[in-house]
């Protein structure tokens, strides 16, 4: 047995008595743990923060991928920033897309997940439509001249290498990478314990995009309730869900899901008052 402990906030921890520790080490960017628990399945943690578990990774990966894809309606090209475990790439490549570019700063996370968490990518890394670039996502969007129908920022939290991915210069560069009608989404942690992440995203989104907001997904592993997922676009208001259109698109591709459905998509945009007020507040910059 090996205990893994994440500090959720001062005085609040999440401890797993792992059945076995498959990997524990440090890359050039972060500490990595991969371990197995009989209920959670295999777990990836970076810098002692649980990133994903086999138990419920599909909630996060389906909601962060299919919500913008079905809202857009005709995604052919996509950009993933981060996503080292391959879960987003897996879900995107289930659609009839032409090209997915994935920019992950830490190649060792990809290698370790391919080896110890193969169910997450499920062959995505071998799909010829995927262009995997090992590098800083912020530099990529700054230097690239390619455009994408969706940009999915599947990063660590706004600390460490992920911090730049929540700030105005990066989001401004991402806006230039969106094709007309393009949609950007990102993860903002769990507002119960990290309300500052939603507030920070709201204040940066407001400076860069005319349309932005949040939708929510319950990922049991992320202790403390719902996870806030951010969206932003020049021309789409994702909060105005056209359920008939989403349903027609969903039925058109005929993908089996474990969490996402058109009804779950629509419900994810319901704004509990306490979260709506977070989204409206101006974050400390
Ligand atoms: N998909 C998981 C989940 O369910 O939340 C977690 C996301 S994934 C493991 C987060 C990835 O973001 C990590 O692999 C990390 O190396 C990567 N990352 C952090 N900062 C980055 C940056 N500036 N550019 C590219 N990738 C970055």
Using CB distances shorter than 6 Å, the residues near ligand 1 are: 29, 46, 51-52, 57, 60, 81-85, 87, 103-106, 109, 136-138, 154-156, 161-162, 164-165
Q: What is the pLDDT of residues 220-253, one digit of tens each?
A: 998 888 999 999 999 999 999 999 999 999 999 9
Q: What is the pLDDT of residue 159?
A: 80
In contact, 173 and 142? CB cutoff 8 Å:
yes
Q: What is the pLDDT of residue 7?
A: 93
Does the pLDDT of residue 284 top 60, yes or no? no
Going through the chain in order, the beta strands assigned E by DSSP cover 2-9, 12-18, 20-26, 31-37, 41-46, 49-53, 77-82, 99-104, 130-134, 148-154, 178-187, 211-218, 226-233
In contact, 269 and 226? CB cutoff 8 Å:
no
Q: What is the pLDDT of residues 202-220, one digit of tens each?
A: 999 999 999 999 999 999 9
DSSP letter at 282 equals P
Q: What is the pLDDT of residue 279?
A: 87
Q: What is the pLDDT of residues 127-161, one digit of tens each?
A: 999 999 999 999 999 999 999 999 999 998 888 88
Going from the C-alpha of 42 to that of each of 13, 103, 154, the distances in angstroms are: 19, 24, 19
Question: Quick check: is 98 catalytic?
Answer: no
Instruction: Enter the tokens of residue 269.
Output: 């945009």
DSSP letter at 166 equals G
C-alpha 242 to ligand 1 mean position (Å): 31
Return the best residue to mutate from 26, 49, 82, 120 for the ligand 1 pocket (most ligand atoms within 8 A of CB): 82
The mean pLDDT value for 264-268 works out to 98
Provide DSSP, 69-102.
Answer: HHHHS---EEEEEE-TTSHHHHHHTTS--SEEEE
Q: What is the pLDDT of residue 282?
A: 62
Rounded Cα gap, residues 97 and 224, in angstroms: 35
Mean pLDDT of the chain: 95
Q: What is the pLDDT of residues 16-70, one digit of tens each?
A: 999 999 999 999 999 999 999 999 999 999 999 999 999 999 999 999 999 999 9
DSSP letter at 259 equals S
Instruction: Enter the tokens of residue 51.
Output: 């990133």
Rounded Cα gap, residues 62 and 65, in angstroms: 5
In contact, 211 and 234? CB cutoff 8 Å:
yes
Percent of the chain with pLDDT over 90: 89
3-state secondary structure (DSSP) of residue 159: coil
Q: What is the pLDDT of residue 281?
A: 72
Find the length of the chain. 285
Rounded Cα gap, residues 206 and 201, in angstroms: 8
Q: What is the pLDDT of residue 9?
A: 87
Q: What is the pLDDT of residue 44?
A: 98
Helices 168-177, 195-208: axis angle to 10 degrees equals 50
Pairing of strands 99-104, 77-82: parallel
Instruction: Enter the tokens of residue 93.
Output: 């490549």
User: Angle CA(133)–CA(232)–CA(97) in degrees, nearest 5?
Assistant: 45
């Amino acid at each position: 047995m090996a205990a893994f402990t994440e500090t959720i906030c001062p005085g609040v921890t999440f401890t797993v008595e792992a059945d076995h520790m498959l990997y524990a080490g440090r890359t050039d960017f972060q500490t990595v743990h991969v371990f197995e628990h009989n209920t959670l399945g295999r777990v990836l943690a970076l810098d002692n923060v649980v990133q994903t578990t086999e138990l419920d990774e599909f909630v996060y990966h389906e909601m962060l991928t299919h919500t913008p894809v079905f809202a857009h309606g005709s995604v052919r090209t996509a950009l993933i920033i981060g996503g080292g475990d391959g879960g987003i790439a897996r879900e995107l490549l289930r659609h009839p897309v032409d090209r997915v570019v994935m920019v992950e700063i830490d190649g060792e996370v990809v290698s370790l997940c391919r080896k110890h968490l193969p169910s997450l990518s499920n062959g995505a890394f071998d799909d010829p439509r995927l262009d995997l670039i090992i590098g800083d996502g912020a530099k990529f969007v700054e230097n690239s001249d390619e455009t994408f129908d969706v940009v999915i920022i599947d990063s660590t939290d706004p600390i460490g290498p992920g911090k730049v991915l929540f700030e105005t210069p990066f989001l401004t560069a991402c806006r230039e990478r969106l094709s007309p009608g393009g949609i950007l989404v990102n993860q903002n942690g769990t507002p119960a314990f990290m309300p500052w992440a939603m507030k920070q995203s709201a204040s940066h989104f407001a400076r860069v995009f005319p349309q932005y907001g949040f939708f929510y997904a319950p990922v049991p592993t992320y202790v403390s309730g719902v996870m806030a997922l951010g969206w932003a676009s020049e021309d789409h208001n994702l909060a105005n869900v056209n359920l008939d259109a989403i349903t027609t698109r969903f039925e058109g591709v005929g993908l089996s899901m474990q969490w996402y459905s058109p009804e779950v998509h629509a419900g994810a945009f319901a704004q509990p008052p306490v979260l709506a007020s977070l989204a409206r507040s101006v974050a400390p910059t």
